[in-house]
Structure 1
Amino acid sequence: MENILACIKVKYEKHRSINQPFVVGINGIDCSGKTTFAKSVSRYFTHQKIDNERLDIDNFNNPTIESETYKAFVSGSWDEEDLNRYYELIINYSDVIRAVSESKKKYSMVILEGIFIYKPQLVDLFDLKIYLDIDISLGRKRFTKRRSLKRDKRPFNIYDEIWMLSHIRYESEVHPKRISDLVIDIDNDENDEGEEYIRIIKEKIIMRDKN
């Protein structure tokens, strides 16, 4: 984990040489550990006395689309049109852009984590793009645990039929892993969201220096 954080710090210091705020994206499938990893990054830089803010894309969801999506799914009226609507409209992109812009006025580093953040609407925000690569079966297993812990009443099959189908489209259109600067391969079930620390495991780091 330390060498991952060191990689991020090197990129941060290089970028800060031009006296501009540094925006980090953390992406991956649902239940890949984005929130836990983002917290670890934020904690590390806070310890380094580098002021930062962490933003979660879930806080920018369109509540109407979110509500209508799950209602349609539970009712059995769910179809491809609903799936496309979810994929295209679940995030209020203008609100995200505004929030990042405001954070950059106050902090040296801004961390934005969540799904779909490397879509064309947002990708230009980032100075460093990170992707957490995890097998879908492990993500599914984590969702089972999360549902139990948080008493999430949504049906389990939303994972495959909404989230993963949307991610497949995202992969085919955006290629998030390919365009990321740092890809972290997570292949251990110890790294569950909600735990205090990431226990990474086997670290396969691919860093692309674009400068």
Structure 2
Amino acid sequence: MERSVLVSNIANRILSLKRLHPIRVGVSGITASGKTTFANELMEELRSRKVDVIRISIDNFHNPRIIRYRQGRESAIGYYEDAHDYDSFKQKLLIPLGPGGNLHYQIKSLDLATDEYVNPEIKTANIDMIFIIDGTFLFKKDLYNLFDVKIFVETDFELARKRGAKREEQAFGSFTKAEEMFLNRYHVASKLYLEQHTPQLDADIVINNNDLDNPFIV
């Protein structure tokens, strides 16, 4: 399916929902599956229809380095277990936006550059807002019920590894080193996520993103 058509169809599906609180759309997938790109495209499509969209990543809710790297900077288990501050993610963002929530939310809990906790302005949502949130481990069992729409972007590991290594080549100093990080850290953690939480089975929509020009709903 042509990419723009798929994005438009999913936007239609989201807009058909009726809720008494903001719609929380989660976009998950293995590292470098294309979830961030898809989430941005969905945001742009909805905004083109004059919808009030808030775009957030779970990466705004990282743990500080002392926690993130306590099992080693290249540890797959460390990435899987310690990268994100799920309590803050739930209490400051997802729960206030859900049923019975007070609509007061924060978009961030940690500044990655300074490695310091932050207390940004508390904002108040309108019930007709749509929040699009992406993250690799977004549909772990204690999180997935806090989304109104769950989208899983499915990409073969080999394709994702090559795309991701190309993207991170400069950050790691070479394509080879970046690919090693995907093989030994990011995608080992992603496989644990798929095995332990089966996010593709809990998702409302699963997108096969192997062909970037022609993704399709599984």
- Equivalent pair of 2:154/2:209 in contact (CA under 8 Å): yes
SS in 2 for 1:111: strand
Q: Is the 8 A contact 1:184 1:204 kept in 2?
A: yes
- Residue 63 (str. 1) matches residue 64 (str. 2): yes
Does structure 2 conserve the Cα–Cα contact (< 8 Å) formed by 1:93 and 1:121?
A: no
Residue of structure 2 equivalent to 1:204: 216
TM-fit CA distance, 1:168: 1.2
**Where does residue 96 of structure 1 map in the other structure?**
89
Q: Match for residue 163 of structure 1?
A: 186
Displacement of 1:120 in angstroms is: 1.9
Alignment size in residue pairs = 184
Q: For 2:131, what is the secondary structure of its paired residue? A: strand
Alpha-carbon spacing, 1:185–1:55, altered in 2? closer, same or farther (3 Å):
same
Q: Does 1:124 align with 2:136?
A: no
Q: How well do the aligned residues superpose, as a CA RMSD in angstroms?
A: 2.3
TM superposition shift of 1:25: 0.8
Structure 1 counterpart of 2:13: 11
The residue aligned with 1:77 is: none
Displacement of 1:69 in angstroms is: 5.0
Superposition deviation, residue 126 in structure 1: 0.8
Query: More helix by proportion, 1 or 2?
Result: 1
| 2:125 corresponding residue in structure 1 | 106
Letter of the 1:138 counterpart:
L
Question: Can you give the 5+ residue segments of structure 1 that lack an aligned partner in the other structure?
Answer: 74-81, 192-199, 207-211
Instruction: Give yes or no for the alignment of 1:28 onto 2:29.
Output: yes
- Paired-residue identity, %: 28
CA distance in 1: counterparts of 2:130 and 2:196, whole angstroms:
28
Q: 1:7 to 1:20 in 2, by over 3 A?
A: farther
| 1:177 CA drift (Å) | 0.9
Report how far residue 67 of structure 1 moved.
Answer: 3.9
| Alignment partners' CA distance in 1, 2:204 and 2:148 | 9
Runs of 4+ in 1 over 6 A off after TM superposition: none
For the residue of structure 1 that corresponds to 2:191, the secondary structure is helix
